[in-house]
Structure 1
């Protein structure tokens, strides 16, 4: 498996599949709701709605996207990182380094 510049060995038999397959439908459902909310905000702007009325739906979209990000990080930790750490010290170390960088990007540190 290749991830963001890190080349990891294939997952061992019985290991969790890479990606967010366990919660894929949950992520897609939430993202579809976000998409609808963004269309609603766009419509509100087009209708010249009161500026402060836009803040609540924008806050809801922001929070929903943060939840998707946390869900994806959780999936990554439980699958990719867990398998790499468990099966190969070097790959595990690289995976943990990548995870820290991902957290920094997500948290904007």
Structure 2
């Protein structure tokens, strides 16, 4: 009966990340956030490629790389240059915007 009377403490996702990974700005949290963004980028490339009815091989030909490179890019964008990512999105006819934050200064490139 005592278990029924206990209340669960509700936490937001950010509170859980703070607790398990550390606050924003700590190395562990920054690594997690970076990895998450890279995974989303790969998923986005795959999704847009499919929307454009392109195979990995066809997209590779458009930017001058092998099908295997497109496959790797869609699975893991960590070891890819910005130039390659821009070529991919240009071939997919997608608009790209970058935002860079450094020392409280923000740059946005469209």
The structure whose residues are more often strand, as a share, is: 2
The structure whose residues are more often helix, as a share, is: 1
Q: TM-score, normalised by structure 1?
A: 0.35
Structure having the higher Rg: 2
Q: TM-score, normalised by structure 2?
A: 0.34
